[in-house]
Amino acid sequence: MSPSARQGLRANDDEGHSDSTEGHDEDDEIYEGEYQGIPRADSGKAGGMDGVTAAQELAQQYETILQECGHGKFQWTLYFVLGLALMADGVEIFVVGFVLPSAEKDMCLSEPNKGMLGLIVYLGMMVGAFVWGGLADRIGRRQTLLISLSINSVFAFFSSFVQGYSSFLFCRLASGVGIGGSIPIVFSYYSEFLAQEKRGEHLSWLCMFWMIGGIYASAMAWAIIPHYGWSFQMGSAYQFHSWRVFVLVCAFPAVAAISALTTMPESPRFYLENGKHDEAWMILKQVHDTNMRAKGYPERVFSVTTIKTMKQMDELVNMGDGAAWHEKWRIKLTTLFHQVLFFYKHPLSVSLSFLVSVLFSFSYYGLTVWFPDMIKYLQKQEYSSRTKVFVKEKVEHVTFNFTLENQIHRQGEYFNDKFMNLKMKSMVFEDSLFEECYFEDITSSNTFFKNCTFIATLFYNTDLFKYRLVNCKLVNSTFLHNKEGCLLSDISDENNAYMVYFVSFLGTLAVLPGNIVSALLMDKIGRLRMLAGSSVISCISCFFLSFGNSESAMIALLCLFGGISIASWNALDVLTVELYPSDKRTTAFGFLNALCKLAAVLGISIFTSFVGITKAVPILFASGALAAGSFLALKLPETRGQVLQ
């Protein structure tokens, strides 16, 4: 630590001052904060320091203050509070995927609409990350996080009750915009209360809450959605089914985070960056006193009496009232661009960090969405292999009152038969004749009648609408009291639904070993070794996907890939926090996170388009992106052991 920084921390008992803040002259690069009742420190100007040297010394000063505050009760309290916000982000990723099988029945969703609903969350989070990240560097981490979580909670609540597809889509988009600020703000916020020897480890422990969010969503879906009795309706216009209860429950982590966050202070580092050194001192004293009391040292006094901060410079040039509006916006956008990219000081590091993040997001999100789709495809293949085929059967005077499932009937003749109080699942009738038959209380899914003839047949209270009758001929046949509903092509099977929840639960739980290992080793082996090593092993594990030809094998490979790749994400989050200076940290992190979500949308769109066609292309894309990312990661600077800029 430099002499001038030590001087700023040393108290002089011979002189006192009651002013809250000492001003500066034009030649002075430093503010000095003085606090009523606290002796004034020896004055020492930093006029001889250039901007970079001053910033380095002030960063070291802040690190020294954090060392004195210690690591204890305050940091652990903040850990759980911010963990709830990160948990809400993890929940948001899973909500739409879990409710789609049920929501499509209520909203009559087509395949394109289902695809858009799946991607809309990522698009919302992309916008939110950029907006809230930039705002957090302007108005504060705590306040911005409260606003973003509030937006997420409000629209998540509304999405549980709205009925139409468009309104539900808008609510999930707005909910995603709100939660998009969670990751960039949470990591930046927490890092500014951590000393350098604790930062890597405890930021990695914080990542575990994303896993907890996924487990919470999976468990709640498993416990709530299959309970179809948890519902009510008001006529035919308003329905509230169990999946809506699940959507409502998924808003609880965000609500809990808002309640807990109101008890926490703003980041003192943010205050220092904005010249509010007295407010920063009060918070740092609170951190110190909280930790010392918890450790049994209530008599230990916070010895810091002055905190030096850089003289604040207005980043936006004051062009006067007479300047054209487009010139003002040009200056603002240019300043924002510099704030985000930081190119004027570290162009290579910034470019590489962005590129590595994009490559990892492309492969990770693409594969994690491709896995369940592949599992569903394998389930359908296995289901189709058990299809029973009946040809030229003749059935007369028979009552069918049991479930008909997974059958194909060709060139059959049915005379005076009754189909009553039954479910038809994946049934196909081709070139068949139905004469004087009676269909009553029929519920069907993936069921079609193709090139069939119906003579004197009555359909009463069924969902066998005319669009299920493909090229059929109707002679003296009648439809009475048809059920309202949708054409659903997917197999409606509760066991498959349970499997989706169970697979997601296992895949999320599988990251626990990777989280523990990365937390324990992050400060020992460094961020770059953790990042590059994990990504190389993830690339190798990607190769084994070629051998996953069964459902159980795909689930095992999903768990393996998730458990390995989480260490890369933890290292990348820590590296991003430490790479950028405090006044640009959340802006840059938010911009990077927005690019990651854009890459995720691209990866999901490309990978899922190859489901049922080939596994080679997705595996090749993912392996190539991971290999390139691990190579570029080695070019990044190592930030272990450095103070926050």
**Residue 387 in this model has a pLDDT that exceeds 70:** yes
**Rounded-to-integer distance, Cα 176 and Cα 323, Å:** 37
Bridge partners (DSSP) of residue 488 are none
pLDDT (0 to 100) of residue 29: 39
Q: Looking at per-residue confidence, does 254 or 310 come out higher?
A: 254
pLDDT (0 to 100) of residue 635: 79
Q: Looking at per-residue confidence, does 154 or 6 come out higher?
A: 154
pLDDT band at 328 (very low <50, low <70, confident <90, very high): low
- Structural domain contains residue 34: no
**Rounded-to-integer distance, Cα 28 and Cα 389, Å:** 89
545 closest CA partner among 600, 607, 615: 615
Q: Which of the listed residues 480, 495, 528 is the one where a domain comes to its end? A: 480
pLDDT (0 to 100) of residue 270: 86
**Residue 14 in this model has a pLDDT that exceeds 90:** no
- Structural domain contains residue 223: yes
- Structural domain contains residue 142: yes
Q: Mean pLDDT check: name the lowest of 29-33, 78-82, 134-138, 613-617.
A: 29-33
pLDDT tens-digit readout, 51-64: 556 566 777 777 78
**Rounded-to-integer distance, Cα 262 and Cα 40, Å:** 33
Pairing of strands 308-310, 30-33: antiparallel
Question: Tokens 């194909």 sit at which residue?
Answer: 408
**Residue 32 in this model has a pLDDT that exceeds 50:** no
Are 537 and 571 a contacting pair, CB within 8 Å?
no
Q: Looking at per-residue confidence, does 391 or 635 come out higher?
A: 391
User: What mean pLDDT do residues 155-174 have?
Assistant: 87
pLDDT (0 to 100) of residue 134: 84
166 closest CA partner among 216, 116, 241, 94: 116
Q: How many domains does the chain have?
A: 2
pTM reported for the whole predicted model: 0.75
204: containing domain: 72-267
pLDDT (0 to 100) of residue 522: 82
pLDDT band at 2 (very low <50, low <70, confident <90, very high): very low
The enclosing domain of 410 has a CATH number of: 2.160.20.80
Q: Looking at per-residue confidence, does 153 or 519 come out higher?
A: 153
Q: Do residues 256 and 401 both lie within one domain?
A: no
**Residue 73 in this model has a pLDDT that exceeds 50:** yes
pLDDT tens-digit readout, 273-282: 887 888 888 8
**Rounded-to-integer distance, Cα 582 and Cα 585, Å:** 5
Q: Which of the listed residues 414, 446, 480 is the one where a domain comes to its end? A: 480
Percent of the chain at pLDDT exceeding 70: 77
564 closest CA partner among 521, 535, 527: 535
- Structural domain contains residue 428: yes
- Structural domain contains residue 507: no
pLDDT tens-digit readout, 530-550: 888 888 888 888 777 777 666
User: What mean pLDDT do residues 350-355 have?
Assistant: 76
Q: Looking at per-residue confidence, does 417 or 352 come out higher?
A: 417
Name the token pair of 52: 């970079």
User: What mean pLDDT do residues 208-217 have?
Assistant: 89
Count other Cβ atoms within 10 Å, centred on residue 384: 10
Q: Do residues 101 and 236 both lie within one domain?
A: yes
- Structural domain contains residue 158: yes
521: left (phi over 0), alpha (psi -120 to 50) or beta: alpha
Name the token pair of 247: 């959507």
Give the angle subtended at the CA of 553 by the CAs of 551 and 555, to the nearest 5°. Answer: 70
**Residue 430 in this model has a pLDDT that exceeds 90:** yes
User: What mean pLDDT do residues 560-586 have?
Assistant: 82
The beta strands (E) that lie in 456-576 are given as: 458-462, 469-470, 473-475, 478-480
Q: Looking at per-residue confidence, does 44 or 623 come out higher?
A: 623
- Structural domain contains residue 87: yes
pLDDT (0 to 100) of residue 11: 38
**Residue 191 in this model has a pLDDT that exceeds 50:** yes
Count other Cβ atoms within 10 Å, centred on residue 606: 15
User: What mean pLDDT do residues 67-92 have?
Assistant: 89
- Structural domain contains residue 621: no
Q: Which of 166-180, 359-373, 505-519, 525-539 has the highest mean pLDDT?
A: 166-180
pLDDT (0 to 100) of residue 334: 64
**Rounded-to-integer distance, Cα 57 and Cα 49, Å:** 9
Q: Mean pLDDT check: name the lowest of 102-106, 356-360, 524-528.
A: 102-106
User: What mean pLDDT do residues 400-415 have?
Assistant: 90
Q: Which of 57-61, 355-359, 582-586 has the highest mean pLDDT?
A: 355-359
Q: Mean pLDDT check: name the lowest of 275-279, 497-501, 585-589.
A: 497-501
pLDDT band at 642 (very low <50, low <70, confident <90, very high): low
**Residue 20 in this model has a pLDDT that exceeds 70:** no
Q: Looking at per-residue confidence, does 75 or 61 come out higher?
A: 75
Name the token pair of 432: 């068949």
pLDDT band at 346 (very low <50, low <70, confident <90, very high): low
Name the token pair of 348: 């290579």
Q: Which of 146-150, 380-384, 625-629 has the highest mean pLDDT?
A: 146-150
Q: Which of the listed residues 240, 267, 294 is the one where a domain comes to its end? A: 267
pLDDT (0 to 100) of residue 26: 39
pLDDT band at 147 (very low <50, low <70, confident <90, very high): very high
Please provide the average confidence, as pLDDT, over all residues in the chain: 77
pLDDT (0 to 100) of residue 433: 92
The enclosing domain of 94 has a CATH number of: 1.20.1250.20
Question: Tokens 């090229």 sit at which residue?
Answer: 471
Count other Cβ atoms within 10 Å, centred on residue 479: 16
